[in-house]
């Protein structure tokens, strides 16, 4: 029994060290956050520590989960739609220089305008609803997809396109057999870059329009001086953003191993 206990003890030690070495920055941030609140003796209306936020998360999980589900659906749906739209526009630009000359300035223009300035316009055009939030996420995420897919479609191995044409391949065959496979790593990069921004865009849209979701939960409780719940909404949104980024990063790694 003593030998087994010692083995279990030593087997847990490397896991604990690995956990600390990997997540020390997060743990340090939580410690500094709690110390900052305690030392300054902030009123709970102004700021609360991580323990108060975690307590509210544990005691009222249904509030956070229901709002997180809505924000996550909007972010995921907008991300998928934005990636598809950006890829389709990039393919259209690859087929035609005229289309490329027309779409590229428009894409740059949309990407240059701050999302906060676009949301009131979209809300007046499409209404203060979840569809507008979805549209905002699409606008934010389609530009990286368009740019990286366009770059990938044009970054073909030297001489490969000439070889396909000598073998009698048509434009569609070159696209399907050569250009799209070459563009997949770039599309994966666009997915990784857009994944975390999708949650942020959805939350900002909900915050400004007052539609259901983590953004509205944050705004509502900020007005009610329920600081721990407002911070909790921000924390849940951060966790969702990191989760989407990690999934997108795993997909990118898999594609790079498979195609490069």
pLDDT digits (tens, 9 = 90+) for 160-191: 777 778 777 788 888 888 889 889 999 999 99
Q: Which of 179, 215, 199, 205 is nearest to 247 (CA)?
A: 199
* Least confident stretch, 146-150, 210-214, 246-250: 210-214
| Angle CA 128–192–144, to nearest 5 | 65
Mean per-residue pLDDT, 99-111: 85
Neighbouring residues of 70: CB distance < 8 A, sequence distance ≥ 6: 130, 212, 213, 214
Q: Say if CB 173 and CB 164 are below 8 A apart.
A: yes
pLDDT band at 91 (very low <50, low <70, confident <90, very high): very high
Residue 9 burial (C-beta neighbours within 10 Å; 0-12, 13-18, 19+): exposed
User: Which residue is associated with the tokens 């905002």?
Assistant: 136
107 lies in the same domain as 230: yes
55 lies in the same domain as 33: no
Query: Residue 45 has what pLDDT?
Result: 86
83 lies in the same domain as 160: yes
| CA dihedral sign, ordered 56, 62, 63, 69 | positive
H/E run at residue 224:
none
99 lies in the same domain as 196: yes
Q: What percent of the chain has pLDDT over 90?
A: 48
A 10 A CB-CB count for 200 gives 18
Here the CATH number for the domain that contains residue 138 is 1.10.3720.10
111 lies in the same domain as 168: yes
Q: Say if CB 141 and CB 74 are below 8 A apart.
A: no
User: Which residue is associated with the tokens 């030998």?
Assistant: 3
User: Which residue is associated with the tokens 């896991």?
Assistant: 15
Query: Residue 176 has what pLDDT?
Result: 85
65 lies in the same domain as 185: yes
28 lies in the same domain as 107: no
52 lies in the same domain as 17: no
151 lies in the same domain as 238: yes
Domain range for residue 215? 48-259
Q: Say if CB 256 and CB 185 are below 8 A apart.
A: yes
16 lies in the same domain as 103: no
164 lies in the same domain as 189: yes
220 lies in the same domain as 97: yes
Task: Give the whole-angstrom CA distance, residue 183 versus residue 165.
Answer: 19
Neighbouring residues of 56: CB distance < 8 A, sequence distance ≥ 6: 228, 229, 232
Q: What is the pLDDT of residues 1-55, one digit of tens each?
A: 444 444 554 455 576 677 677 777 888 888 898 999 899 988 888 889 999 999 9
Q: Say if CB 198 and CB 215 are below 8 A apart.
A: no
Q: Say if CB 132 and CB 213 are below 8 A apart.
A: no
Tally of domains within the chain: 2
């Amino acid at each position: 029994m003593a030998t087994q206990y010692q083995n279990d003890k030593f087997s847990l030690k490397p896991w604990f060290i690995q956990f600390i070495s990997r997540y020390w920055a997060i743990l340090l941030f939580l410690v500094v956050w709690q110390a900052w609140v305690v030392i300054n003796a902030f009123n709970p209306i102004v700021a609360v520590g991580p323990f108060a936020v975690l307590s509210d998360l544990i005691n009222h999980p249904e509030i956070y989960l229901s709002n997180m589900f809505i924000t996550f659906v909007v972010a995921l749906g907008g991300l998928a739609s934005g990636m598809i739209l950006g890829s389709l526009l990039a393919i259209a630009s690859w087929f035609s220089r005229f289309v490329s000359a027309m779409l590229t300035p428009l894409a740059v223009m949309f990407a240059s305008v701050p999302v906060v300035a676009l949301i009131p316009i979209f809300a007046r055009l499409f209404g203060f609803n979840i569809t507008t939030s979805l549209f905002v996420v699409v606008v934010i995420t389609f530009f990286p997809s368009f740019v990286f897919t366009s770059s990938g479609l044009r970054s073909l191995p030297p001489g490969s396109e000439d070889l396909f044409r000598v073998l009698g391949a048509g434009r569609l065959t070159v696209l399907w057999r050569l250009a799209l496979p070459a563009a997949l790593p770039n599309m994966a990069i666009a997915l990784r870059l857009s994944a975390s921004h999708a949650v942020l865009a959805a939350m900002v849209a909900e915050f400004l329009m007052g539609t259901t979701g983590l953004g509205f939960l944050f705004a509502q409780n900020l007005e009610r001086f329920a600081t721990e719940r407002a911070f909790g909404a921000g924390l849940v949104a951060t966790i969702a953003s990191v989760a989407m980024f990690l999934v997108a990063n795993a997909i990118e790694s898999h594609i790079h191993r498979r195609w490069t």
